Structure 1
Amino acid sequence: MLEIQNLTRRFGARAAVDGVSLSVPDGQMVGIIGRSGAGKSTLLRMVNRLTEPSAGRILHDGTDVTALRGKALRDWRTRCAMIFQQFNLVQRLDVLTNVLVGRLNHRPGPWGTLTSLFLRFSPEERALALDALERFDLAEQALQRADTLSGGQQQRVAIARAMLQEPRLLLADEPIASLDPRNARVVMEALRDVNRRDGLTVLVNLHHLDTARRYCDRIIAMQAGRIVFDGAPAALDAGQVQAIYGVPEEALEAETPQAMPGSMPGPVPA
């Protein structure tokens, strides 16, 4: 269970996240929606401790995440993997090495630190990375430089890297914002696959409402740093959508990536 208690982040006089409280059970896929500046990215970055809260607590299975420091914090960031809109791959390295970077915090002792500096990996680690690439249909690109891939391929490499961390929780901050509709569908199906097959809790910030409805078990809507809706996708009605986005739902549809042939019309049953 992930528990967020009265979490707040202020930047000067402005509260980017303002007293947010919620609980997320293990294995749930949660879509976080809202207009730009609503606080979605700040919330996820606080869960991963890339941004420090101004107040409040984050608990995971009873551990106070907000109190972690040093190695304990590094271990949390391993268990709580995060992928970003801009992929955050090392563009000059090959795809396989980018995925293997997900193993670095699993190496014990001075020898692990030394081999990490030179990006030396064991045959077992390479096998894990190749399995992850095969899973996301990227095995043939294993030896290509990351900067030769399309945006959708790079985002799947980022997901494969995250899976090598062996996380319990996966955070995705606008993972499809810069992708075309086809690649957006492929990336969202990859996220849903790790949620369903591996039982990972997934929190994903999304710009497109229809995408959140299609893939997520639960939708949380934020406005001015606060939660204004929390429930099942079917419970989010047209009036609530207009209150969240400031425009009728019909005005959002033109911006929404359409489902590609063969895509699922809704979340896969648990």
Structure 2
Amino acid sequence: MLQLENLSRRFGATAAVSGVSLSIPAGQMVGVIGRSGAGKSTLLRMVNRLTEPSEGRILHEGQEVTRLRGQALRDWRTRCGMIFQQFNLVPRLDVLTNVLVGRLNHHPGLLGTLGTLFKRFPAEERAMALMALDRFDLAGQAPQRADTLSGGQQQRVAIARAMMQQPRILLADEPIASLDPRNARTVMDALRDVNRRDGITVLCNLHHLETAREYCGRIVALQAGRVMFDGAPGELTAARLRDIYGVSEAEFDEQSTAPAAARSAGRQASPGRVAPLPA
């Protein structure tokens, strides 16, 4: 069970997230929706502790995540994998090595860094990475540079990398916002497979309500950092959506998607990103 208790985050006088309380049973797939600036990304980043809460608590199976420091916090981030809109792969490294980066917390310090630089990982971990890539139909791309892949392929590599952490929870922050419809479906199918086959809890920020309805068993709608709806997909009707946001479903999707490029540009230097290795 993942529990968020009165979770808030302020940036100066602005409340990005305000008093959010949620209980998420293990193995649930939750879609978090909201228009630009609703607080979706801040909420997920607080769960992973990439952004520190201003108030409130995060608990997972009785452990207070908000109190973790040092190695305990690094261990939490291993158990709570995160997938970003812009993939966060290292472009000049091959696909297999990018996936193996997911094992770095199992080899901390200089050993892990050298392993990445010189592509030296134990044989069993290389086998794990190849199996992860094969699961997402990418084994044939293992020796390619990551920047030669399509956006949908890169996002599936990012999912495979997260799976190498052996996570209990997977946070997907707008994973399909920069993808075309065909690749978006492939990535969402991969996330649903992880949820159903592995029993991993998935929290996924989404822009399109229909995608959330199709893939998620529960939808949480945010507005101005507050939870305005929390329930089954069928309960979030067009009338309920208009009551919350004052717009139709088509207008909601349009207004949520339009600023995606600006948000993406603003996140290039956000903390927690995997920085490319020097050329």
**How many angstroms does 1:208 deviate by?**
0.4
Q: Deviations over 1:15-49 (max 9, x none)?
A: 00000001000000000001000000000000000
Query: Which amino acid is 2:70 matched to?
Result: G
User: How many angstroms apart in 2 are the aligned matches of 1:191 and 1:70?
Assistant: 29
What SS class does the counterpart of residue 162 from structure 1 fall into?
helix
**How many angstroms does 1:147 deviate by?**
0.4
Percent sequence identity over aligned pairs: 76
2:87 matches 1:87: yes
Query: Which amino acid is 1:176 matched to?
Result: I
**How many angstroms does 1:237 deviate by?**
1.4
Q: Deviations over 1:176-218 (max 9, x none)?
A: 0000000000000000000000000000000000000000000
Counterpart residue number, 1:209: 209
Asked whether the equivalents of residues 36 and 255 of structure 2 are also in contact (C-alpha less than 8 Å), the reply is: no
2:112 matches 1:121: no
Counterpart residue number, 1:192: 192
User: How many angstroms apart in 1 are the aligned matches of 2:116 and 2:70?
Assistant: 18
Q: How do 1:244-255 and structure 2 match up within 5 A?
A: 244-252=244-252
| Alignment CA distance shift 1:254-1:11 (3 Å) | closer
Counterpart residue number, 2:169: 169
Query: Which amino acid is 1:75 matched to?
Result: D
Counterpart residue number, 2:181: 181
| Alignment CA distance shift 1:219-1:159 (3 Å) | same
| Alignment CA distance shift 1:81-1:120 (3 Å) | same
Asked whether the equivalents of residues 91 and 145 of structure 1 are also in contact (C-alpha less than 8 Å), the reply is: yes
**How many angstroms does 1:251 deviate by?**
3.8
Mark the runs of 5 or more structure 2 residues left unpaired by the alignment. 258-279
User: How many angstroms apart in 2 are the aligned matches of 1:171 and 1:45?
Assistant: 8
Q: How do 1:23-172 and structure 2 match up within 5 A?
A: 23-107=23-107, 115=115, 118-172=118-172
Q: Deviations over 1:206-238 (max 9, x none)?
A: 000000000000000000000000000001111
| Alignment CA distance shift 1:109-1:248 (3 Å) | closer
User: How many angstroms apart in 2 are the aligned matches of 1:138 and 1:39?
Assistant: 33
User: How many angstroms apart in 2 are the aligned matches of 1:64 and 1:117?
Assistant: 35
Regions of 4+ moved over 6 Å: 253-257
How does the TM-score come out when normalised to structure 2?
A: 0.88
Query: Which amino acid is 2:234 matched to?
Result: A
**How many angstroms does 1:252 deviate by?**
4.9
**How many angstroms does 1:92 deviate by?**
0.5
Query: Which amino acid is 2:120 matched to?
Result: R
User: How many angstroms apart in 1 are the aligned matches of 2:68 and 2:135?
Assistant: 33
Query: Which amino acid is 1:43 matched to?
Result: L
User: How many angstroms apart in 2 are the aligned matches of 1:5 and 1:183?
Assistant: 35
Query: Which amino acid is 2:206 matched to?
Result: L
Query: Which amino acid is 2:68 matched to?
Result: L
Counterpart residue number, 1:12: 12
How does the TM-score come out when normalised to structure 1?
A: 0.91
| Alignment CA distance shift 1:234-1:121 (3 Å) | same
Query: Which amino acid is 1:12 matched to?
Result: G
| Alignment CA distance shift 1:110-1:88 (3 Å) | closer
Alignment RMSD: 1.9
What SS class does the counterpart of residue 161 from structure 1 fall into?
helix
Tell me how many residue pairs correspond in the alignment.
Answer: 257
Asked whether the equivalents of residues 35 and 252 of structure 2 are also in contact (C-alpha less than 8 Å), the reply is: no
